[in-house]
Amino acid sequence: MTNKLPSVSRRTIVKAGAALGASAVFSPAILTYAQGETPIKIGMHDPFTGTYAAEGESEKRGALMALAEINAKGGMLGRKIELVTEDDAANAGLAAQKAHKLIEQDKVSLLMGAVSSATALSVNQVAHEKGMIYMVTGGHTDPVTGAQCHWTTFRICTTTYMLAAGLAETLYKKFGGKWYFITPDYAFGHTLQESYAKLLKKMGGTVLGNSLAPLGTTDFSSYLIKAEQSKPDVLINLTDGQDLVNSMKQAAQFGLTKKFAIGGGLSELEVLRALPREAKLGWWTLEWYWNQPNTPHVKEWVAAYQKIYTDGTYPSARTWFGYAGLHSLAMGVAKAKSLDAVKIARALEGLELPPEIKLQPNKVYFRPGDHQLMSSEFPGEVIQDGTYPNLFKVAEIVSGEKVALPVAETGCKLDYKS
């Protein structure tokens, strides 16, 4: 089974607009666009091919839902908005090229996107050089809103430290403190592993070893053998996307899932769906989940998604990233009453997402000091005998403020011109 979703076509985009415009859940269409005004273009880079293709497709689906809603209410500044997408294939160099294209050729006014942390960092630099607001949807590595932060960049997904802090204590108390790591060998994996190791040491545990796996690895046998030889209490598998699918399948084939606990900082509904039963286990953190019976608007939003996308899928955290990301840009522009980047940045600082956009409990807002969205973590356990979409048991919903580093410890110093 593959975790790739069907791609979104132009016909689907039109259908999305019609469905959302007619839905009772969302406000009816107003469509009071200024006569003669050209549309406002928003550029989105994401991987639509390769290891993270399913996650990229989900982010685009969420963004298209937001696009339809915003246009149904009159667009931005009375102008219709258009989404221009580019496939970055989770490659940092290609993502920078695509960002330049979106800005210089397509003449976009705002940027958003990223599944790979490496692409988030590279486009972060391009956006800063061009003085353009960039909403990182799904690149988690700490430096994006830490040591490499810029006034132009904001982030929807949580940091790697927040991912680790949301689950580390549970793993330590439940299984023990001797951990072996399998880490994707790029920015996301490095900072996630460093965060886990820091927290483990603070709790009194031991790092037994750390294998670095290149992105796109298909054979994890050597890393799994090293992990088994170390006799860990927990194998911390920090891979994601198709790499996580492959590594968990092989861990099950080697019988390792019966020898020690397996957990990690991040999993995704797309990944859980692709796992066979024998590999469908472990403790992970999700950043949003479709089944929140006590949270307002979630049930209606899931229904709206399924009215548009009739392929039997459910929205994931990635879908929410794209949805919240585009809505956040629109709210920032509306508050600023301008497309001026500095005015939008100042408007986004401290901005709190309303219940129908945040789709989760706890306060969700952009922290002024580093532009990181304080959203929730959903740690829990995979349901081995679960059937899609009931694949995960959320243990608790943890406030972002509870697990985030203080701004003073992130290394972020926003570089507004004086």
**pLDDT given for residue 1 in this prediction:** 37
Determine the Cα–Cα distance for residues 145 and 200; give it in Å rounded to an integer: 23
d(CA 352, CA 367): 9
User: Residue 4's pLDDT is what?
Assistant: 55
Same-domain check for residues 265 and 323: no
Asked if residue 43 is part of any domain, the answer here is: yes
CB atoms within 10 A of CB 370: 25
pLDDT digits (tens, 9 = 90+) for 332-371: 999 999 999 999 999 999 999 999 999 999 999 999 999 9
Assess whether 70 and 215 both reside in one domain: no
Please report how the helices 317-336 and 53-72 are oriented relative to each other, as an axis angle in degrees rounded to 10. 40
Shared domain check, 286 and 297 = no
Asked if residue 16 has pLDDT above 90, the reply is no
Same domain, 209 and 279: yes
Confidence of residue 265 (pLDDT cuts 50, 70, 90): confident
Q: Are residues 276 and 318 in the same domain?
A: no
pLDDT tens digits, 154-169: 999 999 999 999 999 9
Residue 19 has pLDDT above 90, yes or no: no
Could you give the CA distance from residue 218 to residue 274 in angstroms, rounded to a whole number?
15
Q: Using the predicted structure, report yes or no on whether residue 5 has a pLDDT greater than 80.
A: no
8 A C-beta contact, residue 76 and residue 333 = yes
What mean pLDDT, rounded, does the chain reach? 93
Return the H-helix or E-strand segment holding 369.
none
| CA atoms of 208 and 230, how far apart (whole Å) | 6
pLDDT value, residue 374: 98
Over range 299-303, report the average pLDDT.
Answer: 98
Q: Mean of the pLDDT values across residues 314-327?
A: 98
> Could you tell me the end-to-end alpha-carbon distance of the chain, in angstroms, rounded to an integer?
54
Average pLDDT over residues 5-9: 57
In this structure, how many other beta carbons lie within 10 angstroms of the beta carbon of residue 28?
11
The Cα 288–Cα 396 span in angstroms is 12
> What's the pLDDT tens digit per position in 211-249?
999 999 999 999 999 999 999 999 999 999 999 999 999
CA distance 314 to 302: 7
Give the number of domains in the chain: 2
Query: Do residues 243 and 319 share a domain?
Result: no
Q: What pLDDT, in 10s, does the model give residues 204-217?
A: 999 999 999 999 99
Q: How far is CA 291 from the centre of its chain?
A: 18
CATH number, domain of 211, equals: 3.40.50.2300
**C-beta of residue 391 within 8 angstroms of C-beta of residue 268:** no
Residue 34's pLDDT band (cuts 50, 70, 90): low
CB within 8 Å of 243: residues ≥ 6 apart: 51, 184, 213, 215, 216, 217
Percent residues over pLDDT 70 in the chain: 91
Poorest-pLDDT segment among 24-28, 57-61, 365-369: 24-28
Average pLDDT over every residue of 47-55: 96
* pTM of the complete model beyond 0.85: yes
Indicate if the pLDDT at residue 26 is higher than 80.
no
Is the CB of residue 273 less than 8 Å from the CB of residue 245? no
Residue 5, in any domain of the structure: no
Distance (Å, rounded) from C-alpha 112 to C-alpha 153?
A: 9
Average confidence (pLDDT) over 270-294: 97
Q: Do residues 177 and 143 both lie within one domain?
A: no
Residue 15: pLDDT above 60?
Answer: no
The 3-state DSSP class for residue 205 equals coil
Residue 14, pLDDT above cutoff 80: no
Determine which helix (DSSP H) or strand (DSSP E) holds 88, and give its type and residue range: none
What Å distances lie between residue 376 and 29, 66, 346, 362, CA to CA?
Answer: 31, 20, 23, 7
The residue range of the domain holding 143 is 10-158+293-375
In what order do the strands lie in the sheet containing 40-46?
A: 81-87, 40-46, 110-113, 134-136, 153-155
Question: Is residue 414 included in any domain, yes or no?
Answer: no
Do 346 and 397 fall into the same domain? no
Q: Is residue 54 part of a domain?
A: yes
For 24, residues 6+ apart whose C-beta sits below 8 A from its C-beta are none
Distance between CA 201 and CA 208 in Å, rounded?
A: 12
Residue 3 confidence (pLDDT): 53
pLDDT of residue 7: 62
- Is 120 found in the same domain as 226? no
